[in-house]
Structures are given as structure tokens and as C-alpha cells.
Amino acid sequence: MIPARKRIREFYRKLDAVDIKINEILIAWDPIGLKEMQGYQENVVIEYARYIPEIRKVMSDKVKLSKLIYEIEGERIGYHYSSDGDKQKCINSIFTLSQ
């Protein structure tokens, strides 16, 4: 098994600067609370990255980006765990990257 830190370094090598920033925003949002789950802290780095390609496609359109973020949490994750304020902070931060 690859140690978590090495796995994370290898993962980040595959991302460009914008992807890394989007991932950092998603990690800060952390709608399912992985950062707080014992033993899962390193997984948070990789967990939300699956959404980066979709986010990149809509990040310059705030309406589409908002719909996607709400869909990710409500339908794919399965429940709206985070507050609307936290979702809006995530949306605004990602949208700002596209400007």
C-alpha cells in the first residue's frame, strides 16, 4: 500500500494550478465532513477531485456552477449537509477563479 502522503503528492502532480485551487476549495467546503472523520483526513484530498472536470466546464457561468454544486451535494452525495452559505462560498470562490 502506498503511504498517504506519497499518494497525495502523486495525485497533485496530475493536476494543473486551477485544478489544484478548485480541489482546495472543495476540500474547504467538505460537505460530507471527511476532514473530521478519524482515519479519512487524507482521503479528502482525493475525494472531491472527481468533480473537477465538470466544474471546469461550467465555472465561468455562475448559474450553471450553482446548479452543479447543489446537484453534487444533494443528488450525488445524497443529502444537503452543508449550509446554503457554505455552498455559496464554494460557488463564489470557484467562479472567481474563472474571472
Q: What is the pLDDT of residues 20-61, one digit of tens each?
A: 999 999 999 988 877 776 666 667 778 888 899 999 999 999
The pLDDT value given to residue 41: 62
Each residue's pLDDT tens digit, 67-91: 999 999 888 877 777 889 999 999 9
User: Rounded distance, CA 12 to CA 46, Å?
Assistant: 9
pLDDT of residue 18: 96
Report the pLDDT value the prediction gives residue 14, as an integer from 0 to 100. 87
Quote the CA–CA distance of 21 and 17 in Å, as a whole number: 6
Cα–Cα distance list, 57 to 31, 40, 44 (Å): 21, 29, 22
Predicted pLDDT at 72: 92
Find all residues with CB under 8 Å of 43, minimum gap 6, and list them. 34
**Hey, where are the domains in the chain?**
4-97
